[in-house]
Chains A and B, each alone.
Chain A
Amino acid sequence: MNRVTRTAQRWVVFAVAVGLWELVTQLAKAAEAEKSFFFPPPSEIALTAKDLWFSSAFGDHIVPGISRMLGGWALAGVIGIALGILLGRSRRAMAYLGAVFNFLRSIPPPLLVPFFVAAVGPTNMQFPTIVFGAIWPVLLNTVDGARGVDATKVETARVFRLSRAQWTFGVVLPSALPKVFAGLRLSLSIALILMVISELIGSANGIGNQLVRAQRDYEPTAMWAWIVLLGVLGYLFNTLLLVLERRALAWQPRHSLETQALATGG
């Protein structure tokens, strides 16, 4: 399959969805339908977005928000992978810590805010909130991956008396890596979501802050512009992460072979 058809495949559903959205909202607007005030057509959103995103808001809100989010995500990734390998390969660590983590990860992030407020104060709680919320997909998936190391490979590693570093980074991490990436991709969007949630509180800037302000000020077009920005950012970061993933998992035969086999099966 050539590049052009692939690209077309990639965007056709998206384009149709946006087209439908435009059509429906325009019709609603023309009919002065109830609530159409809150659902402006995408063309209007695009115009507002252009003004909003590339104004002073870029430096004041978008950049601080993104840096918090990326920093939080990266830290969550590192901690999640490290803890995940520990918990996945050590029964004892799991026995002692599993319960605490399962307890903590079930607390909705907005309810955790009091803890972070108590620990670092309301104006600084964004970063810990993001880290705390984004850890879990990486952690759980890494645990799964680390635990799933094939028994023969575990025995091979033990026979050759690999060093701890070699065992961790040479055996456990690579075999967990596909699952880790699934976790990282989930965490990425969760980090973005928590960036917004945490910016609702105590923050003078950020995308979430602007989004809520637009909501409160009854400026639905601006609100949608911020929502769309979140989508765009999510898409961009995800695409970058996928590039990274393809490199890291280049050794895998599966990406082409197996999906193909499944697709043409039967």
Chain B
Amino acid sequence: MSGAPRVPASLVGLVGFFAIWEVASRTDLVPGYYLRPPSVVLPTMVTLLGDPEFVRAVVATLAATLLALVIAVLIAVPAGLVLGSVPPVRRAVMTLVEFLRPIPSVALIPLALLTFGTGPDTKITLAVYGALWPILFNTMYALDEVDPLHVETARAFGTGRLGLLGRVALPSAAPFVLTGVRLSFAIALAVVISTELFSGGTIGLGQVVNVASGGGLNMDTVLAGTVLAGLIGYGANAGLELLHRKAFAWSQPKVGAE
């Protein structure tokens, strides 16, 4: 989701969201002691960001997420290219993939803990596992949409299979692959935080939230962590979108509908 050209408009949406939340928790709509209003949560977040220990936790979460994302891209893009272009391999592998895909990382936490221990390996492994799929699928589907005439053109000029994948399939699939990466970032972040939340062991935003929620409705911190996770994802998305605009300057500015 990009193309928010004017900053004010995008702020309007976000401010509106916080306003609804504020009103909801200030009135009797929802229990205000539980869903603390943003006027309390946001300052808490700012205060927490001044706490080096908290910042360390955020950095740990972020680093694990980014590492997982990079690994996921390195695995999923080549895999997607191969699966998308070689039907026999696709047929052979997809059955297994379709069995594995719906297995939640959260369900695997105990096993991952036993296998990888309490270190960051556990959360990174699980995050890679979760983040693979959007990139893999979007790569495969984008390949299906490559213009056949592009393929024919390249083949007529003697482009080999690798050249087809690298010089035709990949560039034309790239925008959609990047959408997959944007989806995957959110998933990697979710899995990292969930693992911290449900397993613990390593420092991170999820653990901060988990510890805070054990202390008797310490919802300010819990929600501050939640908002921060949202902001991190928002920032990462903005970065990826900038990359998109830079990298795909060629893609025709599409005619806006009315």
Question: Are any A and B Cβ atoms less than 8 Å apart in their complex?
Answer: yes
Q: Report 10 cross-chain contacts, Cβ distance below 8 Å, ordered by A residue.
A: A6-B91, A102-B1, A106-B231, A108-B194, A110-B190, A185-B137, A234-B99, A265-B159, A265-B164, A266-B159
* A200 to B, closest residue via Cβ: B106
List of B residues within 8 angstroms of A38 by Cβ: 110-111, 114
Residue of A94, A110, A141 touching B179 (CB-CB under 8 A)? A141
- Contact at A106–B179, with CB atoms within 8 Å? no
A81 in the interface (beta carbon within 8 A): no
- Contact at A96–B234, with CB atoms within 8 Å? no
B249 in the interface (beta carbon within 8 A): no
> With A91-B256, A98-B10, A149-B254 as given contacts, are A107 and B134 in contact (CB-CB < 8 Å)?
no
- Contact at A261–B155, with CB atoms within 8 Å? yes
- Contact at B193–A111, with CB atoms within 8 Å? yes
State the CA gap A72–B210 with chains docked (Å): 27
Residue of B2, B101, B138 touching A141 (CB-CB under 8 A)? B138
- Contact at B151–A261, with CB atoms within 8 Å? yes
A-B pairs, top 4 by smallest CB distance, nearest first, are A106-B233, A234-B102, A266-B160, A108-B190
Residue of A94, A114, A255 touching B219 (CB-CB under 8 A)? A114
User: Which of B95, B185, B233 has the largest count of A CB atoms less than 10 A from its CB?
Assistant: B95
B28 CB to closest chain A CB, in angstroms?
Answer: 12
B114 CB to closest chain A CB, in angstroms?
Answer: 6
B27 in the interface (beta carbon within 8 A): no
State the CA gap A192–B98 with chains docked (Å): 12
**Residues in chain A within 8 A of chain B (CB atoms):** 6, 9-14, 17, 35, 38-39, 87, 89-92, 94-112, 114-115, 117-119, 136-137, 139-141, 143-144, 147-149, 151, 154-155, 158, 167, 172, 178-179, 181-182, 185-186, 188-189, 192-194, 196-197, 200, 208, 211, 215, 223, 226-227, 230-235, 238-239, 252-255, 257-263, 265-266
- Contact at A265–B160, with CB atoms within 8 Å? yes
Is chain B's interface secondary structure helix, strand, loop, or mixed overall?
helix
A251 CB to closest chain B CB, in angstroms?
Answer: 13
- Contact at A103–B1, with CB atoms within 8 Å? no
A231 CB to closest chain B CB, in angstroms?
Answer: 4
B94-112 interface code vs A (CB 8 A; 1 in, 0 out): 1110111111111110110
B53 in the interface (beta carbon within 8 A): no
List of A residues within 8 angstroms of B16 by Cβ: 100
Having A102-B234, A114-B35, A151-B255, one finds 15 other A-B pairs with CB under 8 Å, namely A9-B92, A10-B92, A13-B92, A94-B4, A96-B13, A100-B16, A101-B1, A106-B231, A106-B236, A108-B197, A143-B1, A185-B137, A197-B194, A208-B107, A255-B144
- Contact at B193–A108, with CB atoms within 8 Å? yes
List of A residues within 8 angstroms of B107 by Cβ: 196, 208, 211, 223, 226-227, 230
**Residues in chain B within 8 A of chain A (CB atoms):** 1-6, 9-14, 16-17, 24-25, 30-31, 34-35, 84-88, 91-96, 98-108, 110-111, 114-115, 133-134, 137-138, 140-141, 143-146, 148, 151-152, 154-155, 159-165, 169, 175-176, 179, 182-183, 185-186, 189-191, 193-194, 197-198, 206, 209, 219, 222-223, 225-226, 229-234, 236-238, 252, 254-257
- Contact at B34–A114, with CB atoms within 8 Å? yes
* B133 to A, closest residue via Cβ: A186
A110 CB to closest chain B CB, in angstroms?
Answer: 5
State the CA gap A260–B84 with chains docked (Å): 11
A258 CB to closest chain B CB, in angstroms?
Answer: 5
- Contact at B252–A151, with CB atoms within 8 Å? yes
- Contact at A265–B155, with CB atoms within 8 Å? yes
- Contact at A137–B141, with CB atoms within 8 Å? no
Residue of A94, A230, A265 touching B1 (CB-CB under 8 A)? A94
B255 CB to closest chain A CB, in angstroms?
Answer: 5
State the CA gap A92–B193 with chains docked (Å): 33
> With A17-B96, A96-B9, A196-B106 as given contacts, are A262 and B169 in contact (CB-CB < 8 Å)?
yes
Residue of B94, B134, B234 touching A103 (CB-CB under 8 A)? B234
- Contact at A181–B175, with CB atoms within 8 Å? no
List of A residues within 8 angstroms of B102 by Cβ: 188-189, 192-193, 230-231, 233-235
State the CA gap A143–B175 with chains docked (Å): 12
State the CA gap A105–B187 with chains docked (Å): 9
- Contact at B190–A109, with CB atoms within 8 Å? yes
